[in-house]
Amino acid sequence: MNKPAKADKTIRVTRAFGNIVEGEALVSTEGFSPRYDLDRWSGLISRPGHALEGHNIKDKILITPSAKGGIAAGWAFYDIQHKGISPKAFVFGVTNPVMVQGAVFAGITITEGWSADPYQLIRTGDIVRVNPAKRTLTLVRRASR
Amino acid sequence: MRLTAEEKKILRGEQGRAVQEALQLQLEVGKFFGAKRFVPVSNVHMMGDIEVMGDAGKSFLERAAQSGAKCRQPTTTNARCIDFAHVEHLKQDANEARKEKELIACLRRMDVITADTCINYQTLYQPHLGEHVAWGDTGTVIYANSVFGARSNFEAGPAALAAGLTGRVPEYGFHLDEHRRGTFQVNLKADLNDLADWGAIGKIVGSGHQDYYAVPVFSGVKRTPTADELKQLGAALASYGSMGMFHMVGVTPEAPTLKAAFGGRKPKEVMTVSNRDLERVYAGYDKQNNPLNLVVFSGPQQSLFEMKTLAALLKGRRVAKGSQLFITTSNGVKSAAKELGYLHDIEQSGAVVLEGVCFYILQNLPQMRVREGWSNLVTNSAKLANIIGAHKFNTILRRTGECIDIACTGKDVR
């Protein structure tokens, strides 16, 4: 398999908050809401028909194009973080203030916007790193397939 | 961000730890969105109940209350997860009900007005044009921005509480003129005769534009919509599209004309919604060969006008054997509905009216669904039809009268 050049492995994000984190990517083609889509007791995406139905967000780096409504996410992120089932980071294409307020309150890394389509570079299971200070999302290594 | 002398004092902890932490949270959020300063708010509306907050959120709130922190601006609460009069009937967890009571006591110690309503804009406070507020519940925010011309972002529970404690919010998003202009146009050609139709418009427009900063401008509306109709439209736009604002030409205050609504910009897109589009929405639901034994009017809570309509539709009828009909509203509306006799007609039918709650956040709802054998949920609220999916309901949007017929017969005429 051809390895992409190093520069091709990094995507710039527009806005970011939080610590540097590295972990397994969970890539969704569909937007996300912790209220509409998530079982907040297990961490499983439970909404029937969601692109990630049946996947668990625990310790993942969740890459999703958009945020869905739901003001309750503000408490939900804090709740799932204390239950030990939160992802390591949320990487949004476009987000809304609820997600940001919730992530900041819970101390979970969050980013919004990307310089290139991450779906071309990153697949579920790949190991990626989010660096909020540098505003980067980097593919560290491919999942073994 | 540029900080005032007072804000610097708060950040140094001179007004106590709770206010300091609240401003730190707001500062980080402000920095994320590139806010340059804070703006004062005159009213705060927050979501805070045990189902949403969990034990961790409750502990946080208890620590804040114990420190003596008080809200410095009028702060009201959104719908909660327990109507204490119905805990036994709904077989809700007594322990969670106890925690909910402790939580309410905690909020009251912090000078929060526990009004428990998601229709504060109809029942409690109507901000004026240009007034900065910090509201939670997306439906309240889109109504404040669009119908009143007030200014608020979605302020989630902890963020709204922070605004209550500091009396300010970071200035970004809908506090700024640049984000309040329309971005695309929706030409309304559909006859909008029922609340569900307005919600269906929100579903059609919101689903295709999931973007907080997408601001639809509705044109071609055939008559002046009522507050309840705009409520359903806004709640659905916010729910399906995560939107915080819309304009309606000739109806909402920042859209006297189409040109004014776009503020000199050209629409990125022009779409039309017709009767056929609405029918396609209704035809898109399938009962999946399961019984139609649950009908819910909730999300948002019912206004007094909606209660009157439901009373008229239910008068002299009975909810079908094996079926259940739930209606949620605020304490104030329920009291008035009782006084006016609407509640009597509704309850005589076998319907259950819950106060101070929203159906989709009811404590123990997933367990309730299994126990009661509910699979389908029929509603006239497009928002409710969207948000309850995480609890594994199959939802069906129907017009108000059809919902009542289904509740009383168990059959869908479509």
Provide φ and ψ at B165, rounded to 5°: -75, -35
User: What's the mean pLDDT in B342-367?
Assistant: 96
* Sequence-separated (6 or more) residues with CB below 8 Å from residue A5: none
CATH 3.30.499.10 range(s) for chain B read: 5-177, 283-409
Q: What is the dihedral of CA B191, B308, B347, B396, to 10 degrees?
A: 20
pLDDT digits (tens, 9 = 90+) for B253-269: 999 999 999 999 999 99
Provide φ and ψ at B85, rounded to 5°: -75, -15
Q: Which domain holds residue A70?
A: 8-141
pLDDT digits (tens, 9 = 90+) for B374-406: 999 999 999 999 988 778 899 999 999 999 999
pLDDT digits (tens, 9 = 90+) for B290-310: 999 999 999 999 999 999 999
Q: How confident is the model at residue B93 (pLDDT cuts 50, 70, 90)?
A: very high
Amino acid B389: pLDDT:
76
Positions in chain A whose pLDDT score sits under 70: 1-7, 69, 145
- B140 → chain A, closest CA residue: A71
CA-based nearest distance A15→chain B, Å:
6
User: Alpha-carbon distance B403 to B309, whole Å?
Assistant: 12
User: Alpha-carbon distance B407 to B6, whole Å?
Assistant: 57
DSSP-derived pairing of the beta strands A10-17 and A109-114:
antiparallel
Q: Do B210 and A67 touch (CB under 8 A)?
A: yes
Is A1 inside a domain boundary? Answer: no
Best of A38, A85, A92, A105 to mutate (most B CBs within 10 Å, chain B): A105
Is A3 inside a domain boundary? Answer: no
Query: Across chain B, how many H-helices and E-strands are there?
Result: 17, 14
Q: pTM for this structure?
A: 0.94
Is A97 inside a domain boundary? Answer: yes
DSSP-derived pairing of the beta strands A61-66 and A21-27:
parallel
User: Alpha-carbon distance B145 to B133, whole Å?
Assistant: 10
CA-based nearest distance A93→chain B, Å:
10
Neighboring chain B residues of A69 at a CB cutoff of 8 Å: 138, 238-242, 383, 386-387
Residue B97: which of B111, B116, B79, B84 has the closest Cα?
A: B84
Q: Identify whether the C-beta of residue B167 lies closer than 8 Å to the C-beta of residue B205.
A: no
User: Alpha-carbon distance B319 to A17, whole Å?
Assistant: 51
Residue A76: which of A41, A46, A44, A24 has the closest Cα?
A: A41
Q: Identify whether the C-beta of residue B161 lies closer than 8 Å to the C-beta of residue B182.
A: no
pLDDT exceeds 60 at position B77? yes
Q: Do A75 and B137 touch (CB under 8 A)?
A: no
> What residues 215-274 of chain B have any CB closer than 8 A to a CB of chain A?
238-242, 244
Q: Which residue has the higher pLDDT, A143 or B147?
A: B147
Q: Do A100 and B32 touch (CB under 8 A)?
A: yes
Q: Could you tell me the CA-to-CA distances from B316 to B60, B336, B348, B400, B410 in Å, in that order?
A: 49, 21, 8, 17, 17
Flag whether residue A36 sits within 8 Å of chain B, measured between CB atoms.
Answer: yes
> What is the predicted ipTM?
0.92
pLDDT digits (tens, 9 = 90+) for B2-28: 999 999 999 999 999 999 999 999 999
Tally the residues of chain A.
Answer: 145
> What residues 111-170 of chain B have any CB closer than 8 A to a CB of chain A?
136-138, 141, 153-160
DSSP code at position B389 = G
Q: Could you tell me the CA-to-CA distances from A127 to A11, A29, B308 in Å, in that order?
A: 14, 18, 57
User: Alpha-carbon distance B346 to B311, whole Å?
Assistant: 5
Best of B32, B61, B361 to mutate (most A CBs within 10 Å, chain A): B32
DSSP-derived pairing of the beta strands B168-170 and B38-40:
antiparallel
What is the residue-averaged pLDDT of chain B? 96
User: Alpha-carbon distance B64 to B12, whole Å?
Assistant: 17
Query: What is the share, in percent, of chain B residues with pLDDT greater than 90?
Result: 95
Neighboring chain A residues of B158 at a CB cutoff of 8 Å: 74-75, 78, 101-102, 105
User: What's the mean pLDDT in B200-216?
Assistant: 95
Amino acid B319: pLDDT:
98
Is A61 inside a domain boundary? Answer: yes
Is A31 inside a domain boundary? Answer: yes
CA-based nearest distance B360→chain A, Å:
10
The partner residue sitting opposite B57, judged by closest CB among A67, A78, A97, is A78
Q: Does domain B5-177 have CATH number 3.30.499.10?
A: yes
Q: What is the CATH number of the domain that holds A67?
A: 3.50.30.10
Structure tokens at B249: 């030409």
Q: Do B47 and A74 touch (CB under 8 A)?
A: yes
Total number of domains in chain A: 1
> What residues 27-86 of chain B have any CB closer than 8 A to a CB of chain A?
28-29, 31-34, 47-48, 52-57, 60, 78
* CATH tag, B283-409: 3.30.499.10
Q: What is the DSSP string of B85-124?
A: GGTTTTT--HHHHHHHHHHHHHHHHTT-B----S-HHHHT
Amino acid A7: pLDDT:
56
Flag the least confident range among B52-56, B103-107, B171-175, B336-340.
Answer: B52-56
Judged by DSSP in three states, B174 sits in helix
Flag whether residue A31 sits within 8 Å of chain B, measured between CB atoms.
Answer: yes
Is A87 inside a domain boundary? Answer: yes
Q: Do B159 and A70 touch (CB under 8 A)?
A: no
Is A18 inside a domain boundary? Answer: yes
Amino acid B51: pLDDT:
84
- B46 → chain A, closest CA residue: A71
